[in-house]
A and B are shown apart, each in its own frame.
Chain A
Amino acid sequence: MSAIHHHTPDALLAAYATGSLPLPFAVVVAAHTSLCTRCRSVYEAHQVAGGVVLETGSRTDVSGDLKTRTLDLLDAPMVTEASYERAGILPGPVMQALKGKPPRWKPIGMGVRQSIISSGNAGSVRLLSIPPGQAVPDHSHHGLELTLVLQGSFSDETGRYGVGDLEVADDTLEHTPIAGEGEPCICLAATDAPLRFTSLVPRLLQRVFRI
């Protein structure tokens, strides 16, 4: 794998590590920290700091029987939680979000395909597949948009993004990502609001496709 050049900003990693990041973005950051040792070590350092806060903070006595009740449960049969592993290019957290099922790709025009993983009040997270050399229509965003490359690459006004690279965009960025040559570019993208396209036709399509 080529080196990762575009990392998760520290503030987002801190928000993720402390459990403050809304779910769609947390999926993307979890996927990036699965691929990137630099960001994983920042994440782990935050956990250590969280551990220090836990250890040194105020204590509250627990009820007298809580310990016995807990010890009594040690031999109880465990409910095994499903654990999700990486499947091909899809990191474990993406498989977790897909509940282990393969993505369901739907064409959204110009050869671009998407698979919506989740969409709700907290925003949406989806996989996008863009044919080599294809541009994604001009769009701006209401809020934050995170895009993680899982296969191939794309370039826009801010630089080139290869496998493992994360692009962070906000309302101020109007960009036109173009997929690199070679394989289709497959990305994991999270937004906290629907994308707004700047030209009319994609805007109409947007309602239909929930882009």
Chain B
Amino acid sequence: MTLKRPTQSAAQVSPQTIWMLAVRDQRDKAAFAALFDYFAPRLKGFVMRSGARSAMAEDIVQDVMLTVWRKAAQFDPARAQVSAWIYQIARNRQIDVIRKESRPMPELLEVEPDAECDASVIVEVEQEAAVLKQALAQLKPGQRDIVERAYLGEFSHQEISAQTGLPLGTIKSRIRLGLERLRHELKELR
């Protein structure tokens, strides 16, 4: 699979990323409201698919969106697009509510505040996500269902050890990109 070289144009950056950066850098409430309109129904659907009732699901949606506002400084569009970042917040909140556990997270890598993030870097991250989206869309329905259940956190113990279900092949190019990014960021930190 080959990717087109991204152009320098900021116009290709998704609206979600633009809203998220406005929330992060300008504390822009209108941009937050736009993020809410986009993500709240998706979050509610996501949470309800793992069994939460409507009222509890809305509590989780609200908590997740408030965390998006409060932890916006941790959002780094050069490493993950908005939905990936929000996915993690949503799973953490679910685990907190359902299992009453605080999920251990990897150490944060610092987002360099002055480093003006090149739009082409953001576009590249988003294009990788688009490739992944396509790969998931092309799975057979049964397989896609397994993948969805896995990301909803419904991996059985057996599935974990048997390593079935996840199309690791489909995330390989994303892994490569992530690795390049991390090496780059760590080099700048050290």
Contacts and interface: CB of A to CB of B under 8 A. Distances in A.
Contacts of A85: 107
Contacts of B175: 41-42, 45
A26 B150 CA distance: 16
B185 to A, nearest CB: 9
A50 interface: yes
Given A50-B88, A70-B66, A34 B182 contact: no
Nearest to B66: A73
B44 interface: yes
A116 to B, nearest CB: 16
Interface stretch (A11-19, A100-108, A126-134): A11-19
B128 interface: yes
B33 A58 contact: no
User: What's the dominant secondary structure at chain B's contact region?
Assistant: helix
A47 interface: yes
A173 B45 CA distance: 43
A48 B155 contact: no
A45 B81 CA distance: 11
Nearest to A48: B84
Interface stretch (A88-96, A147-155, A177-185): A88-96
19 contacts: A11-B161, A18-B150, A26-B103, A47-B84, A47-B85, A47-B88, A48-B80, A49-B136, A51-B81, A52-B136, A53-B147, A53-B148, A55-B133, A57-B148, A60-B45, A62-B44, A62-B61, A73-B62, A86-B107
